[in-house]
Chains A and B, each alone.
Chain A
């Protein structure tokens, strides 16, 4: 079947099998491999992208369901050569180790900050609680999001 969607601001048209998952569409068809796949049951959250401005687990969305929608992935966070404050925060606060959960975590963090620019530690923990990190024990992810909240200016410059 034919799908058509906006991915990171670019129009994409493809002929796909109706059953193909959005995560596989992004990775295999569009070579956007920053979005990862980590489980079969929507528990891990390494596949989180935005669909029409809302974080979704792209392993639980068919490419067909995303047709006509706007998709945003980790590859869109950096503006020009300017890292998003969330990316900067993850780097400065050592919010990543193996890096596998990081794209999904950052997409959720960006959404949180867009809707709650000054989240408490508890609010950050709640926001990322549907995603799993095996490396960091979450401490530095929370700090990374707090860093981004405290440094919103760089994002304005970039966007």
Chain B
């Protein structure tokens, strides 16, 4: 299970198993030969563009499309009224709600889809949008989620029969009474309100789709930017009433997903409608502004946390209330029975006596969506909550935050550990990982330097009244310790729209010993073509360069729900291991027939079955593949060929974890924060390809810096999105990121066939609280206990003056 074990090397120089291996997929990307959605051109292809609402909330009085239809290059103009005739004006979301494909009665967020133009080229399609006249009757919008449930608040979803308010759901987990008892008897109780602002995945490639409905065969082929092609196929069949065997979804190279490309957007459906109407392929690709203002956002959790502890620093209980802003339609992508995702993990990595949380979801006049952006299904919000609360408690107790965590982390002997919401953490050695991180950071030396810096600042005249005196900066040190639950999920608990979250996988070994592995999951840059080939190599001894990974085309891959929530390695990685083992078992029977012995007489050495005690009598997996397709007489009931398929239903989630330490430099004169160091020690079990794992962590850390310091989708009081371009929605650049310092510990998952736990989202989950804790730590001389993300220079400057702002609404 160790990643450091001796691994044989293939003729091409690759590890036949786990280890650093350069990526197969790089060859095309390096040459500009990737095949992304907008690179695809079909004969006769038309281009679509969407007219969007300028209002957050308005009744549609009329739509006049005559001038647009008269445009010489326009082939079709589609409105909600036309879709009503096709019963396609509304589509189901992934959360048992419906969403308007094109608005019919009223618009419910700025940027909502109102009409669709199909034209001969992309410029003409845009031109024609300008020719559509829409008369709106503006309505008061609900922008502030905290006022969405007030009496008299405008009702957003009057399309729902009998709906009189903006309430979506109430959900709770944990034991309320037990938690209240713990709080009643606690020495210390601290409370803190905190907002995890609405942020956006903003992958470099925006979303898009090309639909081709063949009128003769009735076959729909849709090339889509999707992380979940099979889920899309089934949804297309359900949405449009199309026969599923005539629907083929192809997910080409994806330019980053981060959860943004899980759901089905109106544009995808409109491309299909456009193709049905015109009889030609229709391409729709959104621009950046459409991406930021209409497709799936993440977070938007207004949280109230309370933590109970003894005076000597034993954390006893955690109590949380959340107001969840889901926008105008409940379009969150998460398992059916989990309206607040996996927020169950909010007790974090700590040994508590009791915990309880309550989440209320509300509609607002904002874009729908909910859990995209390396979401881990709300684990990000939960980890932020608990890790901020632990620091708030440390502040209250006057205790070092590392020491407070040390005293409360779960101990190795407690695993498998059932947390206070009933989730079973599979394995962990938390204290060790924390110590590795503290050691790597040189924690006590950092604290000494911080004290010296504060002394210099004071000596230079620094004070709450004169924060910038003497030009002295302040150092901040922030820690977070996170546990994620990933790899959704066990069928008995988890489904999306009734579809179980088990993953299919197929392996074919061709006669010459080269193999094809067919996956249901879809990479967006995670390197599946390499990692999954390494899994087959690890199990069968076939060199990874001889294993082709096939994915992204529903006609050529088995069913499964796709890549998000760090589920590829935990679910499909397990499936790839299990399917390889099935092939290995079959190879044993074939080898025994060829060697004229009993299968029991054989033993496995990587890549070959050999007779025990007689290693000269051996058949390699490649020889066995040829035998399996040849004329060798096989035992009764054994079919030829060397193939297998599986459906892997994970018995539990996996629980990767890590200890992160962030060091920031803060200029109290301007409020500017620079991340100076970031130490990330991750435990995701054995690493199949450590190079790829480190790359995943690097990217997530940058995400975390972005969310903590600069990213927020904000609205003004009229519901205008003021973060609709990359000039307002700031993404971290190379100058905002330090050189990351990574470390690892290895605690295998006991139930995953490879022990692997998944890592794609670990750093995005773990890093924001580390950065925020570091900034708040730097602000200690000003008595600041909390300020909401993003901690822009302006927000820090205001926090120094005791009046940080709300970061969801811009007045």
Q: Hey, which bits of chain A sit against chain B, CB under 8 A?
A: 17, 19-20, 24, 27, 31-41, 43-44, 46, 73-75, 77-78, 83, 87, 90-92, 94, 96-103, 106, 121, 124-126, 128-142
Contact = CB atoms under 8 A, between A and B. Distances in A.
A90 B26 contact: yes
B30 A37 contact: no
B699 A99 contact: no
Contact of B734 (A46, A102, A138): A138
Chain B CB count within 10 A is highest, among A20, A78, A102, A126, for A102
Contact of A99 (B287, B525, B703): B525
Interface string B221-264: 00000000000000000000000000000000111111000000
Contacts of A92: 22
Contact of A97 (B32, B202, B525): B525
A110 to B, nearest CB: 12
Contacts of B41: 31
A133 B699 CA distance: 9
Interface of B: 22-23, 25-34, 36, 38-39, 41, 122-123, 201-206, 253-258, 287-289, 524-527, 691-692, 694-695, 698-703, 725-727, 731, 733-735, 737, 739-740
26 contacts: A17-B123, A38-B204, A39-B288, A41-B726, A43-B725, A73-B32, A78-B31, A87-B30, A98-B203, A98-B254, A98-B257, A98-B524, A99-B525, A100-B36, A100-B525, A103-B32, A126-B734, A129-B733, A129-B734, A135-B256, A135-B699, A136-B699, A137-B700, A139-B737, A139-B739, A142-B739
A36 B695 contact: no
A36 B30 contact: no
A134 B726 CA distance: 13
- A75, A99, A102: most-surrounded residue (chain B CB, <10 A): A99
Name, among B22, B733, B734, B735, the residue most crowded by chain A CB atoms within 10 Å (CB to CB): B734
The 9 closest A-B CB pairs, nearest first, are A34-B32, A98-B525, A99-B29, A100-B255, A137-B698, A137-B702, A97-B525, A43-B726, A74-B32
B725 A41 contact: yes
A83 B526 CA distance: 23
Contacts of B32: 32-35, 73-75, 103
Given A33-B38, A98-B203, A106-B30, 12 more contacts: A34-B33, A36-B204, A38-B255, A40-B725, A74-B32, A91-B23, A91-B26, A94-B692, A98-B256, A99-B253, A124-B734, A132-B733
A140 B33 CA distance: 21
Name B's interface SS. Answer: loop
Contact of A101 (B30, B204, B254, B737): B204
Contacts of A140: 695, 698
A39 to B, nearest CB: 4
Nearest to B29: A99
A97 B699 contact: yes
Given A34-B32, A41-B288, A137 B39 contact: no
Contact of A46 (B123, B204, B289): B204
A139 B698 contact: yes
A102 B258 CA distance: 18
A4 B172 CA distance: 66
A49 to B, nearest CB: 11
B695 A136 contact: yes
A158 to B, nearest CB: 13
Given A90-B26, A132-B733, A137 B205 contact: no
Contacts of B700: 137
A31 to B, nearest CB: 8
Residue from the set B23, B253, B289, B726 with the largest chain A CB neighbour count within 10 Å? B726
Contacts of A43: 725-727, 731
Contacts of B691: 94
A142 B254 contact: no
A77 B29 CA distance: 12
A132 B525 contact: no
A143 B507 CA distance: 36
A96 B255 CA distance: 11
B29 A40 contact: no
For A20, A24, A35, A139, the residue with the greatest tally of chain B CB atoms inside 10 Å of its CB is A139
A32 to B, nearest CB: 7
A73 to B, nearest CB: 7
Nearest to A20: B123
B30 A96 contact: yes
Given A94-B695, A99-B29, A134 B725 contact: no
Given A43-B726, A134-B204, A98 B255 contact: yes
A44 B702 CA distance: 15
Nearest to B726: A43
B38 A37 contact: yes
A83 B30 contact: yes
A154 B726 CA distance: 37
A100 B30 contact: no
B726 A97 contact: no
Nearest to B285: A37
B525 A87 contact: no
B253 A97 contact: no
A78 B734 CA distance: 26
Contacts of B203: 98, 100, 134
A134 B287 contact: no
B734 A141 contact: yes
Contacts of B287: 40
Contact of B31 (A34, A132, A137): A34
A77 B506 CA distance: 38
B205 A36 contact: yes
Nearest to B704: A137
A99 to B, nearest CB: 3
Nearest to B702: A137
Contacts of A40: 287-289, 725
A126 B695 CA distance: 21
Contacts of B36: 33, 36, 100
A47 to B, nearest CB: 11
